[in-house]
Amino acid sequence: MSESPAHSGASGGGAATAVADTILEMRSITKTFPGVVALKDVSIDVRPGEIHAICGENGAGKSTLMKVLSGVYPHGTYEGEIIFEGKPVEFRGIRDSEHHGIAIIHQELALSPYLSIAENIFLGNERASRGIIDWGRTNSEAAKLLEKVGLAESPDTMIYDIGVGKQQLVEIAKALAKRVKLLILDEPTAALNDEDSANLLRLIQSLRDQGITAIIISHKLNEILRIADRTTVLRDGQTIRTFDMHAEQVTEEDLIKAMVGRSMDHRFPERTPNIGEEVLRIEDWTVHHPIQQERKVVDGASLYVRRGEVVGLAGLMGAGRTELAMSLFGRTYGTNISGRVIKDGKDVTPATVGDAIRAGIAYATEDRKRYGLNLLADIKRNVAAASLEKVSKYGVVDGGAEARVASRFRDDLNIKAPSVDVTAGNLSGGNQQKVVLSKWIFTDADVLILDEPTRGIDVGAKYEIYTIINSLANAGKAVIMISSELPELIGMCDRIYAISEGRVTGEVPREQATQENLMRYMTMADKGASDDKDVTR
């Protein structure tokens, strides 16, 4: 394994000699926010026609560095120098960077759902003559771009009619319409299933072969190992090292050690299960689509969970895992819901979120930024949000009690923030997830449904989340864990239910759980699949 310098070429007048081998150099970038140094003397170089990965823990400075590069943080708000195609550049906004051929695709896609694919591709870059949009040219050019990115959709298709994987391809087509030279992708596969992720990675490799340089930020180290030519690791806002992925075999362990500053021999914390009595059972649970009401999204699902147990839900995208969880939690999804919910041996009817909370059921959503947190509110407001009666007197919130509770969770869950008055939107993804967990732990729920609890967070923060989950189980809580990462389910769960097309197709105990075994059940479409002799009941 070889190490290439993150800062190539001499400083000052050496740019002319260094840029023969680089399309981009960022030299000694320092970016500060009030009370926080986000980037400290960070340097990175990117070669033409390569896929350059950037990885690091949440809060390492990856996205901040890319926002400096793309002009989101304009010249003058940071220290350091950017050299692009051999010339110093000073981007004062996104349009400046796009004018030079740099395009960034953020993790939260910037598409308008109520416009067509073609309209989104050319939004702000319209194909017009004398102020009038030429729709024939718009759709024709959009069709060519869609073919280039491998998306077999009509340019007239509305964005809300296509999935997240296809929306990522529309974002790339939008970048190609601007004659992109350097494409920046921030966590491009975070919300994608395995098939869509593989298709997107193949497209990025294809664009590289066509001469388009790419920078990819990802927490999925297996994807970095698969497609990156070089990988730069950031830690605590500083450049740690740049790996040449082709010089010698680089492993996930090499990247993890550079990211967290230590070896992580055990990816999942050990736990000796102490499983008690059954706390929750659902029987023949059926949920219909809220719009296409004739369609069953969850079809006769039955499962149970016991105290001190972590039970996984495995399934491909669209299998119905989240819909099952949301419909159970106060019927926040679906119509024509039927079936039984049995809590502590008694039938309950959690018809509203309040009913579910009072019944001792909590649900931490997969979309923490939209549904899990109030990003404009501080930590203490978010922690207390689901249990205001516990910090209130005569209907008035006691600010002191609210702060004390939040401070306790900040300490217990190691939320990295100077105080509980910090706005939730300013926290890293891992710390935001800890605030979400704090909110639901504070409800004293017996059953916690955790939907993709580690999505979009780094390996170090994941380990902390796993430790919290184990501590909940050790305290006698029942945990239902939904995850798209099969190794995560296998490493954390005592039992795993597989779901396919809304049906429970298999129940696998920990000792029998393999990726191959789970995938077999996850891809079963036959309703009778759950009668397979290998399924444990």
Instruction: Find out whether 18 and 9 touch, Cβ atoms under 8 Å.
Output: yes
Pairing of strands 447-451, 478-482: parallel
- Helix, strand, coil % in the chain, rounded to nearest 5: 35, 25, 35
Give the separation between CA 535 and CA 521, rounded to whole angstroms: 9
Instruction: Find out whether 449 and 482 touch, Cβ atoms under 8 Å.
Output: yes
Beta strands in 396-473 (DSSP E): 396-397, 447-451
CA 236 to chain centroid:
20
Domains in the chain and their CATH numbers?
Answer: 111-177 (no CATH), 278-360+445-531 (3.40.50.300)
Q: Is 269 exposed, middle or buried (0-12, 13-18, 19+ CB in 10 A)?
A: middle
Instruction: State the virtual CA torsion across 325, 328, 331, 334 in degrees, nearest 10.
Output: 60
DSSP string across 113-145: TTSBHHHHHTTTS--EETTEE-HHHHHHHHHHH
Residues 6+ apart with CB under 8 A from 293: 335, 336
Structure tokens, 380: 């203490």
CA 107 to chain centroid:
8
Report helix angle 194-209 to 164-177, nearest 10.
Answer: 20
Residue 485, Cβ neighbours under 10 Å: how many? 16
The single residue listed with the structure tokens 């400083």 is 11
The 3-state secondary structure of 280-301, one letter per residue: EEEEEEEEECCCCCCCEEEEEE
State the pTM of this model. 0.64
pLDDT in tens, the chain (537 residues): 444 444 333 333 333 333 348 999 999 999 998 767 889 999 999 999 999 999 987 678 888 999 999 999 999 999 999 999 999 999 999 999 999 999 998 877 789 999 999 999 999 888 888 889 999 999 999 999 999 888 889 999 999 888 887 888 998 999 889 889 999 998 888 767 677 888 889 999 999 999 999 999 987 888 899 999 999 999 889 999 999 999 878 988 888 888 877 655 577 999 999 999 999 999 999 999 988 888 899 999 999 999 999 999 998 767 899 999 999 999 999 999 999 999 999 999 999 999 999 999 999 998 888 889 999 999 999 999 999 999 999 889 999 999 999 999 999 998 989 999 999 988 888 899 999 999 999 999 999 999 999 887 777 788 899 999 999 999 999 999 999 888 899 999 999 999 988 999 999 999 999 888 888 898 775 444 444 434 433
Give the separation between CA 330 and CA 334, rounded to whole angstroms: 11
Q: Residue 10: what residue type? A: A
Give the separation between CA 463 and CA 461, rounded to whole angstroms: 5
Structure tokens, 438: 């704090």
Instruction: Find out whether 506 and 535 touch, Cβ atoms under 8 Å.
Output: yes
Minimal CA–CA distance to 54: which of 197, 228, 226?
228
Q: Which residues pair with 503 in a beta bridge?
A: 500
DSSP H helix total and E strand total for the chain: 17, 25
Q: Which residues pair with 323 in a beta bridge?
A: none
Minimal CA–CA distance to 463: which of 492, 443, 438, 506?
492
Please report the pLDDT score of residue 262 as a whole number: 60
Give the separation between CA 356 and CA 185, rounded to whole angstroms: 39
Q: Is 28 exposed, middle or buried (0-12, 13-18, 19+ CB in 10 A)?
A: middle
Q: Residue 341: what residue type? A: V
